[in-house]
Copies of this chain bind each other. A is one copy, B any other.
Amino acid sequence: MPRNVNHIAKLPAIQRLPNYLRALKEMNRRGREYVSAAHLAGLMGLVPIVVSKDLALTGVQGKPRVGYAVPSLIECIERFLGWNNTRDAFLVGAGHLGGALLGYSGFEDNGMRIVAAFDVAPEKVGSEIYGKKIFHLDRLREMAKRMKIHMGILTVPARMAQEALDQMVAAGIWGIWNFTAANLDAPENVVVQNQDLSAGLAVLSTRMKDARKSGGATKRPSSRRLRAKKPPAEK
């Protein structure tokens, strides 16, 4: 009986899964059949036990001695993330960033397909960006209901974000990827995932500041160089 149910466990592990998935799909294309946790760990600068634990989360079963079957591992990760059924999504706010996301083809490998975009600027409405049509925001509700869209990407200016979110929610969208810096208020049953760029920049900045102080060594084990092997005992 957890005290706080407003909580999703294993966040860090979930965030690592897409990285494994990408590598696995590439291996699959090349015809590789099995892979060990240690091999995956080597590719992404992690220690093997992290990979094992993460993969176990998806329910995959490996074979001692040989590792995990690549195709079944891909299958398990995709199912765990809900990426086995691609969701259609609407994008709201076709500005700089929204346009860039419309042009990014990788999302289809991540269980999402952007099918249309919405904006209020008259010069944008009716046009296309990278082959996606831009509609007026007034049409969001009708189209979302008709096309049964439940996922949305929010890329409007921050001051318009709450209003746009309210319209998305009214349209039946209940999963929102929020690229604005606004602190949004949403009903309990709506999932809002904040993708705030300045958070990442804050981490980079402090790491750079700390590296300066300590002579340039403060760094997460992101490099292939740092490996799991114990340091050679003192000979």
Interface residues of A, Cβ cutoff 8 Å to B: 4-8, 11, 14-19, 22-23, 43-45, 80-83, 87, 96-97, 99-100, 103-104, 106-107, 110-112, 130, 150-151, 174-175, 177, 181, 183-211, 216-226
Contacts and interface: CB of A to CB of B under 8 A. Distances in A.
Given A210-B8, A226-B6, A15 B203 contact: yes
Given A107-B201, A204-B191, A185 B223 contact: yes
A185 B225 contact: yes
B183 A43 contact: yes
A213 to B, nearest CB: 10
A97 B14 CA distance: 24
A81 B202 contact: yes
Nearest to A198: B18
A223 B169 CA distance: 14
Given A87-B205, A110-B201, A175-B208, 16 more contacts: A6-B221, A7-B218, A8-B203, A11-B203, A14-B202, A22-B198, A82-B206, A82-B209, A97-B100, A106-B181, A151-B208, A185-B224, A185-B225, A189-B219, A191-B218, A193-B204
Contact of A96 (B100, B198, B208): B100
A5 to B, nearest CB: 7
A123 to B, nearest CB: 16
Contacts of A83: 205
Given A99-B100, A224-B185, A15 B110 contact: no
Contact of A183 (B7, B19, B193): B19
A53 B112 CA distance: 37
B104 A96 contact: yes
A203 B193 contact: yes
B19 A196 contact: yes
Contact of A218 (B5, B184, B217, B226): B5
A183 B15 contact: no
A186 B220 CA distance: 11
A187 B80 CA distance: 34
B15 A202 contact: yes
Nearest 4 Cβ contacts at the A-B interface = A189-B216, A193-B204, A100-B100, A82-B209
